[in-house]
Amino acid sequence: MNHDPFFADAQRSMKLPVVGIVAMVILIIALAAAGCTDATARTPDVADVPVVTPALVPAAVTQTKTIASVPTTPACANPPLNPWWGVPESYVSPLSREAKSPPAPGTLISKADLYGTPTHTWEEYDRTAQIQDLPDSSGTTRCEISKENRKGRPEVHKRIIQTTHLDGAPPEQDMETTTDVFYDEFHAILSQHTRSVSGTGATTENDGPPDSRAGAPHCSGRIFAPVFTYVGTESLTVPAGTFPDARKYTEDIADDPLFGKSATSTHWFAPGVPAELKRVLESQEKHLLMTWELTDWGGTMK
């Protein structure tokens, strides 16, 4: 992989270690894989949505956080699981982000409740990244998910397509990376393949190892852990439109090998909009700031 002319040229012109650029690309791919969310309905165009003054969030968010009522985690050995997050499709959220009235500021909810059971098949985001000792970068992320039948068995195919441009670098150093991941009905990875093409046409490819859980029921308890804090409602504008009633949530991340001892991810959703509107990941310790803003989504899962 280090012999790819893209990385060699980047190292010479940007005077950066090859491993740093590779790490940045790998980090962006990993975060994009985690960031594939949900979608079903269509948002009105910007002109159709009135811009209103953001609702004020109480200055003192409750010191003692409320934890939303969470039912017993559904049996993970009972497929089908939804193809986006691996949550049993029979799961009914007790506190969905689609609820007419938002929860009280400070309420903790789970990932299953926040992202729901999506039925769309693709979503696209504009992305920016600031990473320590590397030039700022920008690009796009598109995630596509489909249910397929391979070799006589049902599988889920997730494809993540990303473009990356380093600020100040010539177009020859741009990169497009496509990652294909196949899951079994229990959401365990069967195979994965990544293909990267630079602006010069130079190509690198590699295969990821299969998941050791493949063929066995698996469903992370983290999916149902109440770790997202509801902050409040505010008006938000992203490339996909203006959303006057966007709901904001935060998650604290501790002792993560990528993000250090303390990091924060912030998420915005809007009722009736199936895809995540915006996501910001920040780690001051690692000098990392990444932002995704929704541009479009569509399709219907069959």
Q: Which has more pLDDT, 26 or 168?
A: 168
For the question of whether the overall pTM of this predicted structure is more than 0.85, the answer is no
pLDDT at 133: 86
Worst-scoring range by mean pLDDT, 28-37, 216-225, 285-294?
28-37
Digit-coded pLDDT (tens) for 246-276:
999 999 998 888 888 899 999 999 988 889 9
Per the DSSP assignment, residues forming a β-bridge with 252 are 264
Does position 65 have pLDDT exceeding 80, yes or no?
no
The model's confidence at residue 59, banded by pLDDT at 50, 70 and 90, is very low
Q: What mean pLDDT is predicted for residues 151-179? A: 93
Does position 128 have pLDDT exceeding 90, yes or no?
yes
Question: How many domains does the structure of the chain reveal?
Answer: 1
Q: What mean pLDDT is predicted for residues 119-130? A: 94
Does position 74 have pLDDT exceeding 70, yes or no?
no
Q: What is the DSSP string of the chain?
A: -TT-HHHHHHHHHH---HHHHHHHHHHHHHHHHHH-----S-PPPGGGS---PPPPPPSS--SS--B---PPPPPTTSPPBPTTT--BTT---SS-TT-SSPPPTT-EEEHHHHH-----SEEEEEEEEEETTS--EEEEEEEEEEEEEETTEEEEEEEEEEEEEETT--GGG-EEEEEEEEE-TTS-EEEEEEEEEETT--EEEEEEPPPTTTTS----GGGGSEEEEEEEEEEEEETTEEEEEEEEEEEEEEEETTTEEEEEEEEEE-TT--S--EEEEEETTTTEEEEEEEEEEE----
User: Which domain does 247 fall in, by range?
Assistant: 5-298
Per the DSSP assignment, residues forming a β-bridge with 290 are 129, 281
Q: What mean pLDDT is predicted for residues 159-173? A: 95
Q: What mean pLDDT is predicted for residues 110-130? A: 90
Give the whole-number percent of the chain exceeding pLDDT 70.
70
Across all residues in the chain, what is the average pLDDT?
76
Does position 20 have pLDDT exceeding 90, yes or no?
no
From residue 73, alpha-carbon distances to 114, 187, 229, 249 in Å are 15, 16, 20, 22
pLDDT at 216: 61
pLDDT at 237: 98
Report the alpha-carbon distance of residue 190 to residue 302 in Å, rounded.
21
What is the token pair recorded at 108?
Answer: 């903790």
Q: What mean pLDDT is predicted for residues 121-146? A: 95
pLDDT at 14: 34
